[in-house]
């Protein structure tokens, strides 16, 4: 996925960029998105000369996008089901309430695992600048 963004600030090898909703045309949520200007953090390869105010093209491989969606949404739901099922096996006399509570614990564990993974792999999952398109007003 490529996106054209404007560089707002630079801190080392990290860029803070902004894009308007016109840059989000391909997003299925564009019609109901209420964020008019979005900020994106991106990595700047060492050999790319970038200045504040430049328009750059950033790239995030589709595989990383899909995996991020899996970690945030699917993993917690899977863990809800696993914990719910295991509570039924471990405590067969328990009612639905205890199983649901165990499922919620699985859901929270999934979100926690997703958050820890995100913190551990922060810079590897950022989009990278692929080319500088020039200055814009």
pLDDT of residue 137: 57
| C-beta of residue 17 within 8 angstroms of C-beta of residue 40 | yes
Q: What is the spatial distance between Cα 75 and Cα 61, in angstroms, rounded to a whole number? A: 20
Q: Which residues pair with 10 in a beta bridge?
A: 15
For 129, phi then psi, to 5°, come to -70, 130
Query: pLDDT (tens digit, 9 = 90+) per residue, 100-125?
Result: 999 999 999 999 998 898 888 777 77
pLDDT of residue 85: 95
Q: What would the two tokens of residue 6 be?
A: 């404007």
Supply the pTM of this predicted model: 0.63
Query: pLDDT band at 32, cuts 50/70/90?
Result: low
For 3, phi then psi, to 5°, come to -145, 140
Query: pLDDT band at 25, cuts 50/70/90?
Result: low
> How many CB atoms lie under 10 A from the CB of residue 86?
14
Q: What would the two tokens of residue 62 be?
A: 């589709």
| C-beta of residue 42 within 8 angstroms of C-beta of residue 5 | yes
- DSSP character at residue 29: T
Q: Mean of the pLDDT values across residues 66-92?
A: 91
Query: pLDDT band at 134, cuts 50/70/90?
Result: confident
């Amino acid at each position: 996925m490529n996106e054209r963004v404007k560089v707002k600030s630079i801190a080392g090898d990290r860029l803070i960029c902004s894009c308007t909703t016109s840059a989000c045309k391909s997003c299925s949520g564009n019609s109901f998105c209420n964020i008019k200007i979005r900020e994106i953090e991106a990595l700047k390869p060492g050999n790319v000369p970038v200045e504040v105010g430049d328009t750059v093209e950033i790239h995030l491989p589709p595989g990383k996008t899909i995996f991020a969606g899996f970690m945030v949404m699917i993993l917690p739901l899977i863990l809800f089901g696993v914990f719910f099922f295991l509570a039924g096996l471990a405590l067969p006399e328990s009612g639905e309430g205890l199983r649901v509570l165990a499922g919620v614990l699985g859901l929270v564990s999934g979100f926690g695992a997703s958050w820890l993974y995100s913190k551990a792999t922060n810079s590897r999952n950022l989009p990278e600048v692929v080319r500088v398109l020039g200055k814009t007003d």
